[in-house]
Structures are given as structure tokens and as C-alpha cells.
Homo-oligomer: A and B are copies of this chain.
Amino acid sequence: MISVVLLGAGNVATHLYKAFMASNAVTVIQWYNRTYSSISSFANDVDTIDQLESLKEADIYIMAVSDDSISKLSQELPFENRLVAHTSGSVSIHDLDKKNQRAVFYPLQTFSKDAELDFCDIPICIEVTEKANMPFMKDLAEALGCKPYKINTEQRQTLHLSAVFVNNFTNQLYRIAHEISDAKNINFDILKPLILETAKKVQHMSPYSAQTGPAKRNDKKTIKRHLKQIESDEHKAIYDLLTASIKKAHGISIRSMTKKNK
């Protein structure tokens, strides 16, 4: 049985707590947070503390705290040579105080406090300073039903950036479609199956092969009509830029098109 001490009480910490508690191979023996009230409701199920001096011995200390707190909190830990991991997509493993053995346990998923999340199949990006800890870190990920990947700091930071594109930016495109359709009294539900199918499609084919639509077809008539339909300058700029991006990716010369249009 792997013993875990959890530090922090944000979305990631809360989801990790639930996932660890649901696993037969892991037990959370203690949960620390600087502000006790955030974890007090769990006091019946786990040893909850707000003093670092009370930390028990465990196989791993997982710091699911904000990026800016990682370095300082790792320095304040009142022990040495134990295994300490952070869960951040962007903070270097070397930001952890070197008095302990260091690791990263970064679950690449979107966490909301309200939304229930199945940890099954979530990719966990793992990095260690001591090679010998790698099998243990993989076991920990697999105990949650997750898929471990060995990922160095630079790769992890690239994944974090990529995640902004496929998650935050994609979600903003959903938001824009919501605004555009709302303005014409259209039920947003109509777009939901398309949103889901678009995401499903790239599970088994590349985004490049999955591309369709007016930009990919170089259908100038439709593009022109769409730009005429869009009322907001901001939405127009996004339409222009992403249309150009699709054309470029699919080898449609923008210059030659301009010539033809004259």
C-alpha cells in the first residue's frame, strides 16, 4: 500500500484526494493545507492538519499547490531525503528544494471543482531527479488507473502550452459560437453533438486529416459570406486568422488567391 501525504486544497488536490481514496493500492495518510477551513470537512476521513511540523512519514509528499507557492513550501518542509512531488505543468522540477528527492506528477486534464472527473485514462506526466524513483511514480499513476508518461521539464512546459490551445482556446471558440447563435435565438444544444464529434474524430485520426470546411476547400464564396455575417470585429479577426492558418497548413497559397480575386 502506497502512503501519500497531500499538500494543498485546490481543484487538483481535491480531485487527487478522491482518486487516491478510491484506489485500493494507495492511502492518503494526511492532508495538509495552510488554511485549515478548506479541508476541515474531510476531518472524519483523513488526518487533516495546518501545521507543517505535524507531517507524518509517508512514501510520497504530493504538493498540489499554486505554481508560485511550490518553491517556498518545498523549502519549509521539516524533513530531508524523502520523495516530494509537485503537480504543476509549468514549474521546473528544480524549483523543488534539493534537500529532498524530487519528482513531478502532472495530470494533464482540466479540473473543475464542480465537475466529477473519472481519473481513468488521464495521462500523468512524470519526471524524477533520482532515476530509481521512476518505477514507484509509474506505480502511483497506474494505481489511479492513469497512464504514466516519462516527460522532461521542457516537454511538460510544451504540453502545458499545447493544453492552452486544445482546452482554453477551444473552449473560447465554443463560447464565441454560443454568442453568435444566441444573437439569433438559436438553441446552443444544436451545436453540442458537433462539438463532441469534432473531439472524437481526432482520437483516431490526425487533426490534419480530420480537417474539412470552407478554408480547407478554399471556398472563397462561403468565407466571404461568413465574414459579412459576423458582427463583432473581434470575431472577424479570429475568423480571418484561423482561416489563414488552415489554408497555410493545407498548402493553399494566400498570395495567389489574392491575385485571382482581383
Contact = CB atoms under 8 A, between A and B. Distances in A.
Interface string A197-238: 111111101111011111110000010011001100010011
A110 interface: yes
A165 interface: yes
A23 interface: no
A198 B181 contact: no
Given A157-B225, A167-B198, A173-B242, 16 more contacts: A90-B225, A112-B201, A115-B201, A158-B184, A165-B173, A167-B212, A168-B211, A170-B199, A171-B207, A172-B245, A174-B202, A178-B206, A195-B203, A198-B199, A234-B245, A241-B241
B206 A158 contact: no
Contact of A157 (B110, B160, B229): B229
A225 B154 CA distance: 12
Most chain B beta-carbon neighbours within 10 Å: one of A122, A159, A197, A201: A197
28 contacts: A90-B225, A108-B194, A110-B212, A111-B212, A114-B205, A155-B186, A159-B181, A159-B186, A161-B226, A161-B230, A162-B177, A162-B191, A163-B194, A164-B215, A165-B174, A166-B177, A167-B194, A168-B214, A168-B215, A168-B216, A168-B242, A170-B174, A170-B198, A172-B211, A174-B210, A177-B207, A178-B206, A196-B200
Nearest to A199: B199
Interface of A: 67, 90, 108-112, 114-115, 117, 121-123, 125, 149, 151, 154-155, 157-178, 180-181, 183-203, 205-208, 210-216, 222, 225-226, 229-230, 234, 237-239, 241-242, 244-246, 248-249
